[in-house]
Each structure stands twice: as structure tokens, then as C-alpha cells.
């Protein structure tokens, strides 16, 4: 193979490593015998950061849990003319600390708004020193990127330095299949807490190699969604090799009854096995597994489970489930009757019942249970719910702890909307999704005038609203605390 023509500077070689596959980059590196492989130190020399700031960042990356190191970096930035970046770090630290207490809710909203505005304006500048890594979709936590999306090539060649200078705990790797044998040999995988490989279509053979990778023994989260994994003679999950794994995503594969074996991970607490063609027989095997009670979260969405298959789940009194997603299955109406009688409801913090053809009678049945629930998030979108359902929710004493409510894509009109707005039983509800319902300007105006809920996020997309509703929002006393408003698909004259 002929060597590739490329710039002979370190910066040019750096770009080559980040963006070209191994089999094309290596001939060029062989041509540059006097340089050899780029070390982390050589890569660092191409990054536009002062030695003092690099040292501060390396300390943060090596000790990501110590906030005082982040404060030290913010102080350095302030003294070196980067006050906005310093403000972003400190305000994010304050916001994280506020979340651990019941106080500071309004302050957190204002901090979140400010953080989003700063990121929108300055994120590209703040990530400029790592521009050639090809970082995408950075998720920021406590002032720094904690999760990023990069190519497999970039991670193999440059990931070591990236993890030395930023407190990144999770990476989403794309385009890894041609480089997979190299990827699982990278020792810097051991620095990660979470690895996201969704959408790479690795297949059984490569996934089996991944699960035996010695550098992933300390990984706590693994996402293998959409990887073309299917049942095999030898189960992929028959051995507990990833001893620290507590969160596993196998959504949109075809594993069938071998999904039962993934419960062999002794520390597993969160499991997503949505869209795997699970039927009643497989579901019951999962629910009967001796380690199933260890789970705190399970998504069974978009499978082939009926009310008969979920019966065993609802009977498990020793279950520790806090989050349950049953959306998009084939349940009959008696599911709601069984659900409201199960002890599982007394522990759930999040419940998803989307796309189950639920009607007003079903929801009224559920709200008649009477006992207050610990639910914080409830999603019942894409059903057949009308004003009676919304009124029943607003008048029920069961949901006093509810923070997020998703009623999108139903048949709720003005009567149900006003009932929700006037409810005294939803004192903590801050996020309300009413997109694609049957709201009108008159009803929404009354909602804005009477609404006593502490709403901070409101979705109204694809409702038949117009200018009067926009004016009602601007005049509502709660509009100052609103920091997310979705009006997609609404034809406002003012806009």
C-alpha cells in the first residue's frame, strides 16, 4: 500500500490519526520513522492550552469527584480573562449541590436557563482545544464534558490524551466495527465508567469479544442497543465477567429467551430490553429469575407481552423496581385492574404506559385506587384519553408527588386542561406534556389564568392554538418560571 500524502507537521499527523482508519493511517506513520507513534505527550503539544491549564485539567480528569479542583480551575480562568467560562463552572457546581436538597428549586431553574444560553453561545470555543478529536453531542456535567460522541478511530488513536485532559466518564463510539479488534485492546477503556456502542451492528461474535475485554471489568454502564445481536448456541451472558455492571441497554436486538441470562450480572440494577420480540413465555422466565428482584429499573416496551405474561411481575412482592416501562405491548384492559392491585405501585417512582390503547375508563379505574403513590414521573401518551381522564388525574389524591406528566397524543380538550390547571392534588408538577391534543384558545386562556401548578416545562406542540394563547402565556403569573416551552407546529401570527 502506498503511503498517504499528508502534512508532515504534528498537527497534520494528529488530524490523520483522528479521522482516518488504522489501515490507512499506519502506512503514513511508517513513512515517518523518525517520529514513530504519537505519544500522549506529543499529542498534547498540538493542543492550544497553556501548561498551567493543562496541569489543572489533568488533576480534574484524574480526580473527577473532587469539586475543589474545579473551583481552582475556575479561579485560574477568572484571573486569566475567561470570566464567562469560570461562571459556567461555578454555577453548574452550585446547581448540582442544590439538587441534593429540597431548597433552591427556583434558583436551579434560573441557573439552568443561564447554563443553556452560555453553552449555546460558547460551547464551540470551550471545546476548540480538542477540535481535531471530532467531538460531537457533548453532555456537560459540573462545568465540563462528561459524555461525548467520537469515532472509533479517534478514540483508539487519541482517546488516551482526551481522557487525561477532560473528566469524561462516558463515550458514545461510532463507526467501530472495522476497527473492533484494535478497540478492545485499548487500555484507556479502563478509565471509562460507561460505554455506548449503540447502532454499530456488531453482531454476536464481536459483542462476545467485547464482553470478555479485560479493560471493561470496572465498567458500570453498557449500551448495546441496535447491534444485531440474536440468539446463539452459546449465550453471550452466561458468565458474569463485567463484575461492576449495573446498567445494561439491549434495546432493539433479537435476543429472545437468551435475555434471561443477562440477569447473571450480579450487580445489575437497570435493564432495557425494549423491542426484542419478547413474548409471555420469555417474560415470565425473566420475572422468575432469582436475581430479578435486584432490578430497580426495567424497560419492556414494544414487545409482545400480554396481560397474562406480565401477571408474574405484578405478583412479585419482593421486587425493588422503581422505574417500569410497559409501553407498546399487547395488554388487554384488565391490566389496569391488576396494576392498581399490585404492591409494585407502592414503590414505583416512574411508570410508562404509552401506546396501550388506554381509554377514560382505564384511567378512572386506576385513579380510584385511593392510596397515595410515590410516583414522580408518569407517561400515558399515545392512548385514547379524553377530558374525563385528565379530570380524574386532577381530582385524585394519588399523585401528589408527581413531578412530570406526559399526556401527549391523546384526546384531551379544554375541560380536562382546566381541571389539571385548577388541581390542588398536583403541588409538585413542574413538567407537563400536552402535545397533539384538542386544546383551544379559550380553554388555554382559562388554564393560564387559573393554573396553580409550578410549571417550568410545558409542551403544547401540534394543538389548534393561535395568537390569543401566546398572549395568555406572556401574561400568566407563572411564565417567569417557565424555561422550556414547545410550540412546534402552531401557526402564530406574531411568530
Per-residue burial over 382-397, b = 16 or more CB atoms within 10 Å of its CB, e = otherwise: bbebbbbbbbbbbebe
Q: In this predicted model, what pLDDT tens digit does every residue of 457-480 receive, in sequence order? A: 999 999 999 999 988 988 887 787
Residue 492 has pLDDT above 60, yes or no: yes
The pLDDT value given to residue 100: 57
* pLDDT given for residue 109 in this prediction: 75
pLDDT at 7 over 90: no
Distance (Å, rounded) from C-alpha 267 to C-alpha 364? 38
Lowest model confidence (mean pLDDT) among 156-170, 330-344, 405-419, 434-448: 330-344
All three cell numbers of 194: 460507561
The pLDDT of residue 233 is: 52
pLDDT for 34: 42
Among 26-40, 312-326, 481-495, the range scoring the smallest mean pLDDT is 26-40
Average pLDDT of the segment spanning 198-217: 93
Better pLDDT: 44 or 132: 132
Cβ atoms 296, 323 nearer than 8 A: yes
**pLDDT given at position 105:** 67
Please list the alpha-helical segments (H only) found in 289-436: 307-315, 334-341, 360-367, 387-395, 414-421
Mean pLDDT, the chain, rounded, equals 86
Instruction: State residue 228's pLDDT score.
Output: 93
Total residue length of the chain? 495
Cβ atoms 364, 393 nearer than 8 A = no
3-state secondary structure of 476: coil
3-state class (DSSP) for residue 171: strand
**Average pLDDT of the segment spanning 243-250:** 94
Q: Are 414 and 390 in contact (CB under 8 A)?
A: no
pLDDT at 46: 54
pLDDT of residue 257: 80
Q: Is the pLDDT of residue 25 over 60?
A: no
The model's pLDDT over 41-84, given as tens digits with 9 standing for 90+, comes to: 555 545 678 999 999 999 999 999 999 999 999 999 999 999 99
Please, which pLDDT band fits residue 234 given cuts at 50, 70 and 90?
low
Give the residue with greater pLDDT, 414 vs 239: 414
State how far the Cα of 435 lies from the Cα of 412, in Å rounded to an integer.
10
Q: Report the distance separating Cα 338 and Cα 362, nearest Å.
A: 11
Q: Would the pLDDT of 239 be above 80?
A: no
- Beta carbons of 169 and 147 less than 8 angstroms apart: yes
With residue 297 as reference, give the H or E element that holds it: strand 297-299
Domains in the chain with CATH codes: 357-495 (3.80.10.10)
| Cα distance between residue 314 and residue 307, in whole Å | 10
Quick one: pLDDT at residue 35?
44
Mean pLDDT of 284-310: 93
The pLDDT of residue 494 is above 90:
no
Q: What is the pLDDT of residues 324-363, one digit of tens each?
A: 999 999 887 667 777 877 888 889 999 999 999 999 999 9
Please tell me the predicted confidence (pLDDT) of residue 33.
37
What pLDDT shows up at residue 266?
86
d(CA 136, CA 139): 9
- pLDDT of amino acid 368: 84
Model pLDDT, residue 8:
39
Amino acid at each position: 500500500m502506498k503511503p498517504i500524502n499528508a502534512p508532515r507537521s504534528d498537527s497534520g499527523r494528529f488530524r490523520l490519526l483522528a479521522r482516518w482508519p488504522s489501515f490507512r493511517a499506519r502506512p503514513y506513520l511508517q513513512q515517518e520513522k523518525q517520529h514513530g507513534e504519537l505519544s500522549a505527550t506529543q499529542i498534547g503539544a498540538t493542543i492550544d492550552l497553556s501548561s498551567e491549564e493543562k496541569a489543572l485539567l489533568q488533576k480534574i480528569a484524574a480526580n473527577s469527584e473532587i469539586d475543589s479542583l474545579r473551583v481552582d480551575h475556575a479561579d485560574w480562568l477568572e484571573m486569566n480573562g475567561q470570566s464567562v467560562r469560570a461562571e459556567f463552572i461555578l454555577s453548574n457546581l452550585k446547581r448540582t449541590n442544590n439538587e441534593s436538597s429540597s431548597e433552591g428549586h427556583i434558583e436551579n431553574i434560573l441557573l439552568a436557563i443561564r447554563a443553556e444560553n452560555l453553552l449555546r453561545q460558547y460551547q464551540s470555543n470551550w471545546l476548540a482545544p480538542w477540535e481535531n478529536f471530532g467531538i460531537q453531542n457533548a453532555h456537560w456535567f459540573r462545568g465540563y464534558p462528561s459524555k461525548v460522541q467520537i469515532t472509533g478511530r479517534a478514540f483508539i488513536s487519541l482517546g488516551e490524551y482526551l481522557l487525561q485532559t477532560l473528566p469524561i466518564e462516558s463515550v458514545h463510539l461510532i463507526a467501530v466495527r472495522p476497527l473492533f479488534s484494535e478497540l478492545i485492546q485499548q487500555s484507556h477503556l479502563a478509565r471509562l465508567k460507561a460505554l455506548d456502542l449503540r447502532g454499530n451492528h456488531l453482531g454476536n461474535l464481536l459483542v462476545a469479544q467485547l464482553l470478555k475485554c479485560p479493560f471493561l471489568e470496572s465498567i458500570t454502564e453498557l449500551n448495546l442497543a441496535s447491534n444485531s445481536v440474536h440468539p446463539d448456541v452459546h449465550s453471550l451472558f452466561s458468565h458474569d465477567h463485567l463484575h461492576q455492571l449495573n446498567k445494561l441497554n439491549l434495546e432493539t436486538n433479537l435476543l429472545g429467551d437468551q435475555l434471561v441470562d443477562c440477569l447473571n450480572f450480579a450487580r445489575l440494577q437497570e435493564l432495557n430490553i425494549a423491542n426484542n420480540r419478547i413474548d409471555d413465555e420469555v417474560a415470565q422466565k425473566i420475572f422468575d429469575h432469582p436475581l430479578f428482584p435486584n432490578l430497580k429499573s426495567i424497560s419492556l416496551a414494544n414487545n409482545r407481552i400480554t396481560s397474562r405474561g406480565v401477571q408474574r411481575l405484578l405478583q412479585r412482592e419482593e421486587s425493588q423496581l422503581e422505574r417500569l416501562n410497559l409501553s407498546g405491548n399487547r395488554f388487554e384492559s384488565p391490566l389496569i385492574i391488576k396494576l392498581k392491585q399490585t404492591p409494585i405501585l407502592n414503590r414505583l417512582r416512574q411508570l410508562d404506559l404509552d401506546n396501550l390503547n388506554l381509554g377514560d375508563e382505564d384511567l378512572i379505574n386506576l385513579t380510584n385506587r385511593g392510596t397515595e403513590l410515590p410516583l414522580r414521573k408518569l407517561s400515558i401518551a399515545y392512548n385514547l384519553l379524553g377530558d374525563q381522564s385528565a379530570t380524574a388525574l386532577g381530582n385524585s389524591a394519588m399523585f401528589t408527588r408527581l413531578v412530570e406528566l406526559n399526556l401527549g397524543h391523546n384526546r384531551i380538550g379544554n375541560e380536562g386542561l382546566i381541571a389539571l390547571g385548577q388541581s390542588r392534588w398536583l403541588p409538585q408538577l413542574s413538567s407537563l406534556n400536552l402535545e397533539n391534543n384538542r386544546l383551544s384558545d379559550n380553554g388555554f386562556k382559562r388554564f393560564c389564568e387559573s393554573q396553580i401548578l409550578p410549571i417550568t416545562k410545558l409542551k403544547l406542540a401540534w394543538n389548534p392554538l393561535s395568537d390569543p394563547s401566546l398572549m395568555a402565556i406572556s401574561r400568566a403569573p407563572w411564565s417567569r418560571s417557565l424555561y422550556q416551552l414547545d410550540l412546534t407546529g402552531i401557526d402564530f401570527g406574531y411568530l
